[in-house]
Amino acid sequence: NMLPLLDPNDIVWGGWDINGTNLGDAMKRSKVLDIDLQNKLYPLMKDIKPLPSIYFPDFIAANQGERADNVLTGTKQEQMDQIRKDIRDFKSSNSLDQVILLWTANTERFSAVEEGVNDTAENILSSIEMGEAEVSASTVFAVASILEGTTFINGSPQNTFVPGVIELARQKKVFIAGDDFKSGQTKMKSVMVDFLVSAGIKPVSIVSYNHLGNNDGKNLSAPSQFRSKEISKSNVVDDMVASNRILFEEDEHPDHVVVIKYVPYVADSKRAMDEYTSEIFMGGKNTIVMHNTCEDSLLATPLIYDLVILGELCRRVQIKKDGEGEDWESFHPVLSLLSYMLKAPLVPNGAPVVNALFTQRCAVVNLMRACLGLAPDNHMTLEHRFESTLAALGEVGNDGPASKKMKLG
């Protein structure tokens, strides 16, 4: 009620897809929603079709070819120009204040970072114009978004933000954020490992197994696409391990294995199983085993809303340092504040990578408090830890609010 945030009902959704099925039939095909809800929504969704999208077969699994019936043609430059036109048309036709793009499509293989191809802003623009093979579809979307002044958020694990894209975003002062939606197993892992390390319990083996049967799982059944996902899932524990040099020596890490299997029968109902083995006092061992079943899409969709709402807020926030003139400064174009919803946080050069979930959440909460002129939240609660302050709080409770602030010394 105090901080004006974007109303979710004011968001107009649109998008692209390499498959041209209307949203009503796509909803039925995915079998995610309850059948009664599908029947109610179908009349509202059957006439909505995605725009033709970019399809570079080399970057996604070969098994996606059968779905690709709604694709753009022409050179990479021509396809990027069409995406830019689509953004402008969508903004204009819906009378929007701003547009935010999210990549929610297939996981791509990693792009090779090559000198002269994607290492600078100038080179990535030139490579798109020349049709270089090592420029992915997600990178073309990101560049199109940046050139249109539109925030771009990467919800998949591949390295969409090659150095040239990051440089371009900084030049144009446009927000980018990534990578990979943090919805289920990885979110729980960032909590569990933070708890273990903070408690002085040393995790030495973390084994994570998943199987799912939706199209995401089908695409990840290809080795190069799985490798992108494996990297984003595996790096989540690094900063928490590094935070405790009593438990872990420099360059020491737990054994960490991630497995993903495609099982069509379970559809969107993803199964995740994790085993955490830790060393405890006097050479003992502690093992925690977890099993989680969830609808993958229904965990990811609220993240999309949250990313859009928080991304829009960040466009309106500026700071000015005391005693340094009248210049107001916006956030760095690499918008690391959104890391709370993302597996593999993209951060500016020189900034630490933070994966601990509650630390990420605290950053978001304290930003909102700062916007309201409130001090950062903390958990010292000194007013509850001394006889004198507890007595003063008791008087406030008995006699009404105190007339002046209580000072702690």
Q: Is 405 a catalytic residue?
A: no
> Does residue 180 have an active-site annotation?
yes
Distance CA(291)–CA(272), nearest Å, equals: 6
SS3 357: helix
Q: How many CB atoms lie within 10 A of CB 4?
A: 9
The secondary structure of 7-36 as a DSSP string is -GGG-----B-SS---HHHHHHHHT-S-HH
Told to judge if 270 belongs to the known catalytic residues of this protein, a careful annotator would answer yes
Residue 90 CA: distances (Å) to CA of 87, 175, 390: 5, 19, 58
47 in catalytic set: no
Q: Which one of 28, 189, 218, 270 is the catalytic residue?
A: 270
Question: Considering 182, 202, 233, 343, which one is annotated as catalytic?
Answer: 343
Q: Strand 285-295 to strand 269-279: parallel, antiparallel, or no bridges (unpaired)?
A: antiparallel
Alpha-carbon dihedral 8, 229, 355, 174, rounded to 10 degrees? -50
What backbone phi and psi angles, to 5 degrees, belong to 23?
Answer: -65, -30
Catalytic residue of the set 17, 180, 274, 296? 180
3-state secondary structure 161-173: CCHHHHHHHHHHC
Spatial contact of 184 and 270, defined as CB atoms under 8 Å apart: yes
Kindly state the tokens that stand for 404.
């002046």
Q: Identify the active-site residue in 229, 268, 274, 296.
A: 229
**DSSP secondary-structure letter at 158?**
S
Catalytic residue ranges: 180, 229, 270, 343
